[in-house]
Every structure is written in C-alpha cells, then in structure tokens.
Structure 1
C-alpha cells in the first residue's frame, strides 16, 4: 500500500511539475480563514517532516510533489477534526519511525532561543497527533540530510532543491506559489540564526503571506510577494536574484543603475561619499561631497519611497538606506540620468550624467591608508589596510597621542593584528554560533576565539573607532572585536546590523536565488549585534554644511576626544 501511495505521488507530482503554470488562474476566490489555518498547518508539518522524519530527511520521497498532492486535501479540511485526520493519515502513510538511539535530546551545549515547536501543542491537535509529532521530534533523522549540509564556515548549505527553471514557473500555479513560500519559510525557520528577532513572529509571517501567494493575480504580484517575504526576515545579508525577473519589475526599477560613485543619505539628501571610478566622475563633473537633491525630476525622499518596497536586504533603517543608495536610488530605464545639485550657496544646478546596465570598472583615487593629523594624532583607513602592513604602520604611530581607526567601510581581516598591538592582555573575541544539523533549529557555539596579546607595553595612546551605516558584516565584527582590545571609544551612527557569514545560495522555483546570514554573532557583552548594530559611545552624524565645507565631522569629534576636549 505504501509503495502504491508513493507511485501515485510521483505521478501527480510529475504532472504538476510539467504543468506548473496550467492552473495559475484557479485561485480566484479568497481563501477562508480556516483554509488559511489549514495551509499554515500544512506548511509547518511539511517543513518539520522534511528535516525531522527519517524517510523524508534522507531524500527517499519527492517531497515537493508530496506537498503539491496535499494542498487540495488540506484545503477541504473544514474543521479541526478533519484537519487532525488529514495530518494523522499523512503520518501513517510515511511509515513507522524507529526509535533513535543516537538522538541527544538534551540542551547541553545547545542554544534553543531560536527553536520553536510550540505549534505542535498549540494548534489544537488531538492527543494522538501531538504524541506522534513529538515522537518524531525526539526520534529525528540523524546523519547526512538530503536537503541541508554545512558550508565552508559551518553556515547552512541548502542542497538538492529543484529550481523549476521553465518559463511557466516565473508565475506558476497557486500550488507552486505556496511551494515557494513554504520552502523559504521553513529554511529560515530551522536555519536562520536571527529568526527570533524579526519584527513579526515568524509564524505570523507565514499566516500573513499565504493569501497573497496563493491569490497572486499575475507575475508581477507574485514576484513582489517573494521580495516582501525575503524582506520580512530583516537580514542585511539577504539578497534576491535570478533569471526570472519579470519585465514589469525591471521596468519599475530600471535596467540602468550603475554609476561611477556611491552616496549616502544626509538630512534627506544624497551626498557623494565614495568615488568608485575617478576618471569617469571627473569626465562627468561629479566630485566628492556633491549634494544631490533630485534624480530624474524626483526628490530624494520620493525616490526613497518609490524604491523602498524593493529593499529586502536590511535589518534596520540605516542599513536599508545604505542598500538603496548602492542599488536602485539612481536607477532608470535609460542611460541618461538628470540630477540636481545643491551648491554651498544654496543654489541648485542641473547636470546630466550617464548610468550603465552593467557594473563599471573599479578605479578609485589612490587611497590613503594612514596619515598623521594635527596634534600628533594618527589615522588609519581600514578599507585598504593589509595585514602585512599593520605592524609597520603601528610602529610609525607608536608615539602618537591617539589613533583614529576608520571602519566606515568593508575592511580586510586586519583586526587581529591591530588588536595584538592595542591590548595588554588576551580576551575573548565576539562569539559565533552555527546551526546544529543533528537537531534542526538548535545552534551551537564555535570554539572560543582568543584575541589580543599579553604584554606590558601595548600602544599607550587613546583609540577611537569611527562607524556608520557603511560599517556592515565584517566591518561590524572588526569594530566589536577592537572594542574589546583596549579602552576604545566608538563614534558615529547606527551600523547596518548584518552579522555572520552568508549562507550558500538557496534556489526558489522560477530559478530565483536568495541567501541570508548563516552564522550568529554576539557582541562582547553577550548581546546580538544583528539589527541594532555595534555599541556606540558618542553619536555623531555628518551635516550638509560640514560636508560642503569639506569637513569630516566624525574625525573632528574623534580629535576632540583624543585631546580631552
């Protein structure tokens, strides 16, 4: 009987896969509230069995096809009793789960704050069903999982997921749209280290997204739902790409988005803060600290509001603005971009610049890695600093009153060598956690990373760290690690709040790809850095007036601190 059931599922699944877009207009009626509840139960049980049931986690079934076959069954389960019977029947179809002698069900050396199986007892299931689900929980699959493995840094690596690359899957049937939602939701549910700090509880996200995914009226609405879904994780490492973008979305955003500079938002205006191609900027009349007040006839505020729904890779507002400035803020459907600049005298001037469909060569001005400032104060720009040069630079700065370390950038892995020159003792670096594949949803700590150096004569001057929204990921880890090296003072504004190595690419139906933070990072005081950013001692932000005068107000603030003013 079990073999016949599996053959039937394979036939149904093969038919649906071959006809992924044949029923795209069948979900014309609104789902009832109980149908939404039933589909939520389906999504949760399907994901739970995918990673916990031995027969499923070992890849013995085409689990996507099973989901497609179960959707109509769950849709007609009109009450709690019927829903219980549907789930019980499903569990019985999968066969008996043998007792697991290898399963360690203790919490010793495990982090459980991200683990949530409350739905098993809070869904109104009867005692028999609760007992069966809890039995699977404690006698879960062990060893290699068909759907998940470790990446190079022990971050999660999702494997063996079908991409469904035919054109019809850019707007598939309602069943396959739910597959997209359930696949991503469960991957996050079991393998995102930061699921527990999203603004909305992850269970609520599933409830909210079921109707729009199931009832999406066209390709545009469906793909916008995917962007929204990814954005609801609020992860600065999230990204979304693929060959399946609809022409409608590309028209909304614009194919031309690459410029020879980047900017950041100051007092509601876009200010050029990085020249990425010096010769192209000079040819077009763009200079550092140019203040831009409009793009293609729209104010900066209007552009931000226009493109904000497309930003899915931010954990906080500052990170969102940073992401927008580096993606869509200047986007358009032609190569010509009309901007309006504000002069220091308060006069606006117009300028037409060129934007590109593809990335431009990276050719910035020659960087200054370190320099001496007035009052015998040293300055280090970590963006271009190389490990091999740290000791030589620190030797040159050894007699200074203080050092300003600028981390408003993405640094190389130079912080350990700097920490060894600043510290008088060894210390524990920010801790990292990785997913426990033997107990999906649980996490474990990496081994402690010891930084610094026991020494009697470390650098004796004051140390100031500069951070802002450009401080992201490894920049944030570097800042947190250096904060423990000495009595540093951190000056700046909220950082991007994106910590932990990326996951490998995760494929979604339609040949879309996404990823998110694969490891958790915890500050020296034990708090999570994701979303909130690094700890800041003195809040300082640049002003339009200061920038137009060519001043770096964060460096000025750092000099005052070092001078004791």
Structure 2
C-alpha cells in the first residue's frame, strides 16, 4: 500500500513538473512574446497620444514602458489583459467625440491614417476593448499636448529623453526605441497610408530585429530599416553628418571610384575623373555608362545597395547612391565590395565594352587625401556660382541654392528692382538646390512681381484634438508672408514667362516654393524630372542614444487634393541630362530652359 501511495505521489510531482515546464515553454516562446510586445506597443502608443493623463504630462510614457515590458512579454493572456487595463487606467467618458471621422469627403481633415481595427482583437476581453475604444474616440480640448508641439511648424517633438549614454545592449531600451519611433509615425506622420508596406506589418517585422540588437552597429541598422520603411526622403536626415556613427561599417564602404558619377536606373554615368592623372590611368572615360558590375546588371546592383537608404521614391534613391552634393565621401553605389578591382560592362554611345575598374582604397592615406582634395575643389567651385544673374539682358536667373539672406534687397531698392524684373521676357528659378533665403520667395518675389498672397496648396498639420488626424490650415499666413503694415505688391502682376528647373534635389522647401512659383501667373512652366517627394515641415523625434529620427510632419497637397509626397512636383516638360551632357562643362538643363523661352518648344 505504501508503495502504491509513493508511486502515486511521484506521478503527481512529475505531472506538476511537466505542467510547469510546459508553462515556461509557452511563456518563453519567442513568437508569443513578440505578439505580446506588438499588442503592448500599440496600446502603450494609444495611451501616450490619446489619454488625458498623458496629454497633461502626468504619464511618464518611457518609464511605464520600461517597467512593464519584461512582465508583458512573459504574461499569459489573462495576465496581459489585466496589465493593459491597469495601464489604460480610469477613463472619464465624454460626450464630445469625433463626429467627422466618417466624413471621407470633408477636406477640413485628413483622416486616411485612422485605423483602430486592431482594438477589436478577438482575444481581448470586452472591458479592455471598451476602454480602448473610448480612449480612441476622446477629444483633447486642452489646446496642447505633452508629446506634440503646440505650434504646428515646430520641428522637435517635446519631452523625449535622449539617454545619451545608452550602450545599445539592453533589450528593454531597444524595444522602447522601436515603440517610440513606430508610434510617432502611427500618430504624427500624415503619409503613413502611402508607405509600401502596411505600418502594422512593419511593427511585426521589426520586433525581432530590435530584440536582437546588441551593439551600436546593429542599433543604427535597425533605425535605418525603420527610416527606410516610411518611404520618406526626410527620413534621410538620420544619415546626416554627426548623426550615425557606423555608416562605413553598416554599408561596408571601403572603396571609392576614381571619378564623380551619377547613378540612374539604366547605369552609373561617369561625370568626370577626380584628377587628370587618374583619367589617364583608367580604361574608362567621362560619359561612359556602367551597365553591369561583376556580372550583375546595374538595376539589381543598385537596388541591393539602396535597401537601407531612406527615400520617398527611386529618384532620391539614385541621388543618394551618387556623388552629387557628396561632402562626406560616401559612394553607396560601390558599397559592400570584396575587392577594389571590378569587372564592369560599359556602354559608350552605341558601343559596349567589358573593362576593369580599379577603385581607390579608403585605407590608403594618399587616396584619402586625393579624394578630400577633389571634394574641397568642388565646394570652392560651387561657392563661385552666382545666386542672381542676367542672361542676354532679357532673362533673369535666380538660383535658390546660391542666393543667401545677405543678397536680399534693401527696402529702398525694391521699386527699382521690381521694374527691372518686370522688364524681362522671362524669369528662370533654379530649384535644384535647397533654397538658402526663404524670405526671397515667401515675401520679396511676390512683392516685386505684383502677386498678392494666395493659397497655392492644401496644408494639413497635426490635429491636437485628435492625434492621428490632420487639420487643414486655410489661413493665407500659412502659405505666404503677409505684411500687415508693410509695402503692398508693386504694380500689376508680371506676365512674362516663368520657368522653374527641378530634379531629384528639389526637396521640401524647394518643392513648396516650386508649387508657389508654378501658380504665379498663367505663363509658368516646370522643366525637369521627379523631385524628392517630401514636402511639409519635418518632425524630429529624439531616440535613446541621442539619435534623431526624422519624418515629414505636415501634409502638403495640390489644391485639387493630389499628393506631392513620394510623387513630387510633376514637371510640365520632362528633362534629364544624357550621359554626354552629364560629363560636359555646360548646364544642359539650364540651356533647355533658355531654348524653351526662345522657341516655345
């Protein structure tokens, strides 16, 4: 009998041990943990951006996340839901709700991003669904928000700690980084609905990536993956000098070509060699088009190397792969090379050749000095370019990227300058570099050309009442500078030709002013190619490690409601330089504009 009791007791103990081990296996299942983390990030973000306590600054979002994440990922279903109920806390029911949510044709609000279908998760208990639904419908009537700028055009998202000394080896902090960035896009990025991949799916894919981060390199790569996923050229600010530290390691940038080049879908065009001696040593020539490298056709080659480059469209990806405006020595089109000797297929006119390209080595001090000298020389040449000049006495050219505040006219000179501009047959505005004197376009040019302030776009800013939606700002002051007591526009509206030059470097403010100039009179023409597709004031989120995660914060649309994001400013006359023109000394794009002014074609 004792033996039977002993065996029975042993079986009970073994059963308990088995059940305990099974429970631990369930809790430690990475897939289930990731699902818990996903749901937590979504609910945490809703509380951060929609709850009254968070809006008033009485909810320390970071601390709540860090204190809960370990328990959350290991919680069973019922435990998790009880934790989420506590996180949401009591919610005061309000009679004010968003009656305009279903008004799809109401241009006063941009509502395309709003989607709370995830709240109806079949596994959520009724009380949690009810709380989340009420929370999603709440109105913020305070006029401010602890985590959103009160002034719509301010750039920095407030009250986000930098954690400057972070060492990139803590899963909790890595997941906090993901949660902060993902929810900033969820609630404050007006073009979330335009991303290539569903934003919820991005979260699902990024959770294991951020859980596996263990050093600065993998952390920065994770940030780049997030920035690339929003399909927004403003996300490229992450790669600006002084932001990322591990660019060379992530992209494996070891070799540099002996020439400046432009990457395009059909090939890498050699513009000019860094020195005459390098040109003599190479079998390649300026104007050549590299159409394959080591047996890989160029479109595939470039696509692989652009995967982590944030951009709204392919035009910007090719821009980022090129050496144009390259002040850091990045040559991403030639990243991840195992050797400095490349077998290239080259197109030269109608002929094709298989040649060898010998790259410069960034581990060689002499090569580095040569590259630096070439970059400095290019910078010095750009400084000599005039911001304002006359062409044949009947055309005035304004280069937005070379006209600075110091070049703005004095008030006493305005009448004379107005008469001079209006006497011209045509005005050319070169928007191929970022404008350096915004006041020239928002104030002086309308004044000088007789143009009263006007709304030339639809401008949507984050709606503090309902984060996730955006409100149409209709006041003229949002579009142009309006002087209350200053001078009025001089005389009649200028009726001469206005030609605007655009390409992939026309970005943000450049696109904004291009939209304005294109509607100045009925005689305007845009000549160029696809622009950067990132118009609207940039927003910047501070992330652990003192990183800056940037994205377009306000929505800019044509007056008829068409997007400029990703699409860019559509030209009236499409123009891109040929390989021969790219390698030449003349500005073929400008020459095309002059030809149009002279001939009408």
Same fold (TM over 0.5): yes
Partner in structure 2 of residue 367 of structure 1: 385
The worse-fitting range, judged by mean Cα deviation, of 506-515 and 231-240 is 506-515
Measured at CA, do residues 136 and 283 of structure 1 come closer, stay the same or move farther in structure 2, by a change above 3 Å?
same
Give runs of aligned pairs for residues 347-358 of structure 1, distance below 5 A. Answer: 354-356=370-372
Partner in structure 2 of residue 158 of structure 1: 157
Measured at CA, do residues 64 and 138 of structure 1 come closer, stay the same or move farther in structure 2, by a change above 3 Å?
same
Q: Output one character per residue of 1:44-97: Cα deviation in whole Å (capped at 9) or x when no partner.
A: 00111112223344444543343234334443456xxx25x6234432465422
Partner in structure 2 of residue 15 of structure 1: none
Partner in structure 2 of residue 429 of structure 1: 456
Matched, 1:554 2:578: no
| Larger Cα-atom Rg | 2
Measured at CA, do residues 216 and 366 of structure 1 come closer, stay the same or move farther in structure 2, by a change above 3 Å?
closer
- Between the aligned partners of 1:533 and 1:86, the Cα distance in structure 2 is 44
Partner in structure 1 of residue 433 of structure 2: 409
> How far has the Cα of 1:29 moved from its partner?
7.9
Measured at CA, do residues 507 and 270 of structure 1 come closer, stay the same or move farther in structure 2, by a change above 3 Å?
farther
SS of the residue aligned with 1:514? strand
Partner in structure 1 of residue 536 of structure 2: 500
Matched, 1:379 2:397: yes
CA contact (8 A) 2:28 2:74 kept: no
Partner in structure 2 of residue 443 of structure 1: 470
> How far has the Cα of 1:162 moved from its partner?
3.2
CA contact (8 A) 2:537 2:552 kept: yes
Aligned match of 2:218 in 218, 221, 231?
221
CA contact (8 A) 2:287 2:580 kept: no
CA contact (8 A) 1:236 1:496 kept: yes
Give runs of aligned pairs for residues 102-251 of structure 1, distance below 5 A. Answer: 105-107=98-100, 109-121=108-120, 125-139=124-138, 143=142, 144-150=144-150, 154-155=153-154, 157-168=156-167, 170-173=168-171, 175-216=172-213, 220-238=217-235, 239-240=237-238, 249-251=247-249
Matched, 1:525 2:549: no
CA contact (8 A) 2:34 2:207 kept: yes
Measured at CA, do residues 467 and 30 of structure 1 come closer, stay the same or move farther in structure 2, by a change above 3 Å?
farther
Give runs of aligned pairs for residues 306-325 of structure 1, distance below 5 A. Answer: 307-312=305-310, 314-325=311-322
Partner in structure 1 of residue 409 of structure 2: 388
Q: Output one character per residue of 1:386-439: Cα deviation in whole Å (capped at 9) or x when no partner.
A: 442887566435344433322111122222433455567764222322112232
Q: Output one character per residue of 1:93-131: Cα deviation in whole Å (capped at 9) or x when no partner.
A: 654223447x56343844322333222235653433221
SS of the residue aligned with 2:422? coil
- Between the aligned partners of 2:145 and 2:135, the Cα distance in structure 1 is 15
- Between the aligned partners of 2:471 and 2:256, the Cα distance in structure 1 is 41
> How far has the Cα of 1:534 moved from its partner?
0.4
CA contact (8 A) 1:382 1:405 kept: yes
Measured at CA, do residues 150 and 291 of structure 1 come closer, stay the same or move farther in structure 2, by a change above 3 Å?
farther
Using the size of structure 2 for normalisation, the TM-score is 0.72
SS of the residue aligned with 2:427? strand
Partner in structure 1 of residue 331 of structure 2: 329
CA contact (8 A) 2:253 2:335 kept: yes
Q: Output one character per residue of 1:162-212: Cα deviation in whole Å (capped at 9) or x when no partner.
A: 3333353x2322x33221111110111111122221111211211221222
- Between the aligned partners of 1:366 and 1:93, the Cα distance in structure 2 is 60
CA contact (8 A) 1:257 1:356 kept: no
- Between the aligned partners of 2:455 and 2:139, the Cα distance in structure 1 is 35
Q: Output one character per residue of 1:328-363: Cα deviation in whole Å (capped at 9) or x when no partner.
A: 217999xxx999999999999989763459x96953
Q: How many residues are treated as equivalent by the alignment?
A: 518
Give runs of aligned pairs for residues 82-97 of structure 1, distance below 5 A. Answer: 82=77, 86-92=80-86, 95-97=89-91
- Between the aligned partners of 1:187 and 1:426, the Cα distance in structure 2 is 33
Measured at CA, do residues 456 and 115 of structure 1 come closer, stay the same or move farther in structure 2, by a change above 3 Å?
same
SS of the residue aligned with 1:176? helix
- Between the aligned partners of 1:517 and 1:166, the Cα distance in structure 2 is 28
CA contact (8 A) 1:30 1:215 kept: no
Partner in structure 2 of residue 473 of structure 1: 508
> How far has the Cα of 1:557 moved from its partner?
3.2
- Between the aligned partners of 2:556 and 2:219, the Cα distance in structure 1 is 33
Partner in structure 2 of residue 63 of structure 1: 61
